[in-house]
Amino acid sequence: PAASVCLVDLNFQDGSVADYLDLTPSFKLEELANAPSRLDAQLLNVMLTRHASGLSVLATPRLPAKYLEISEGMIGTVLGLLSQSFDYLVIDLPKNWYPWTDNVIWGSNHVYVVTGFTVPALKHARYVVDAIKAKAANEAAVSVIVNKHREKLLFGSGLMKKDAETLLRDLLAGFVPDVPDVVQEAINRGLPMSEISPGSKVEKALERILLKNKA
């Protein structure tokens, strides 16, 4: 049987996971923030959204003009209940660091930092990785995915693939090529890229990254 996967969007202010999959988020975080004791496995299951691909998604409606004080206990309870129901949790963390971020990182088997292919972005990714490695469990793997990578033009100048490899060294998980047509089509239609363009460069690159992690 296929492993069960839940995609968890913890970016409560401006998360976009549900939008990318053309789903209506149903995790009523605002209601639970003041009454966390209400949360149990049955209620959480009701608040999951299911994608046609079989993927389960936990996402909250965007709260761009509100700040909610989310306790570490609330996040711990949510992830604990989900881990009892799914084989894998894929968690999208916000860029900002919250009091509960440490615990999420500490409980993760692998942490990927996704960065753009520019010098400032690569340097920032290295700083973030160093901070995460200080928080992660000893056996956890922490690495960087370079997104939207474009091959250098012949006789051109500027940033090259080997520059990222030199800067990140063994922290580099891999490169994901810039294939905007396929990615944008998948996002606009709320479909996996495998349904838009089976065997695309992006899909193959991500497969190599995941297989490298298992090796």
- Give per-residue pLDDT as tens, 51-101: 988 899 999 987 777 777 888 888 998 999 999 999 999 999 998 899 999
User: pLDDT band at residue 1, thresholds of 50, 70 and 90?
Assistant: very low
pLDDT tens per residue, range 88-147 = 999 999 988 999 999 999 999 999 999 999 999 999 999 999 999 988 887 889 999 999
Instruction: For residues 179-197, give the mean pLDDT.
Output: 89
Distance CA 105, CA 91 (A): 10
The single residue listed with the structure tokens 């609330």 is 74
Distance CA 79, CA 104 (A): 9
Instruction: For residues 178-187, give the mean pLDDT.
Output: 89
Lowest mean pLDDT among 4-8, 29-33, 141-145, 180-184: 29-33
Higher-confidence residue of 37 and 16: namely 16
For 169: left if phi > 0, alpha if psi spans -120 to 50, otherwise beta; the answer is left
Would the pLDDT of 5 be above 80? Answer: yes
62-87 burial code (b ≥16 CB/10 A, e <16): beeeeeeebeeebbebbbebbeeebe
pLDDT tens per residue, range 146-177 = 998 886 655 555 788 888 999 999 999 999 99
pLDDT of residue 145: 96
Distance CA 196, CA 192 (A): 7
List, in order, residues 6 or more apart from 60 with CB less than 8 Å away.
9, 12, 15, 25, 27, 28, 29, 30
Contact yes or no for 26/48 (Cβ under 8 A): yes
Instruction: For residues 42-59, give the mean pLDDT.
Output: 91
pLDDT of residue 100: 93
> Helix count (H) and strand count (E) of the chain?
10, 7
User: pLDDT band at residue 39, thresholds of 50, 70 and 90?
Assistant: confident
Other C-beta atoms closer than 10 Å to the C-beta of 200 total 18
pLDDT of residue 102: 92
Structure tokens at 155: 């006789």
Contact yes or no for 8/89 (Cβ under 8 A): yes
How wide is the angle at C-alpha 181 spanned by C-alphas 128 and 150, nearest 5°?
Answer: 50
Would the pLDDT of 34 be above 80? Answer: no
Beta strands in the chain (DSSP E): 5-9, 49-50, 56-58, 88-92, 110-115, 141-149, 172-177
pLDDT of residue 126: 93
Percent of the chain with pLDDT over 70: 94
List, in order, residues 6 or more apart from 189 with CB less than 8 Å away.
22, 196
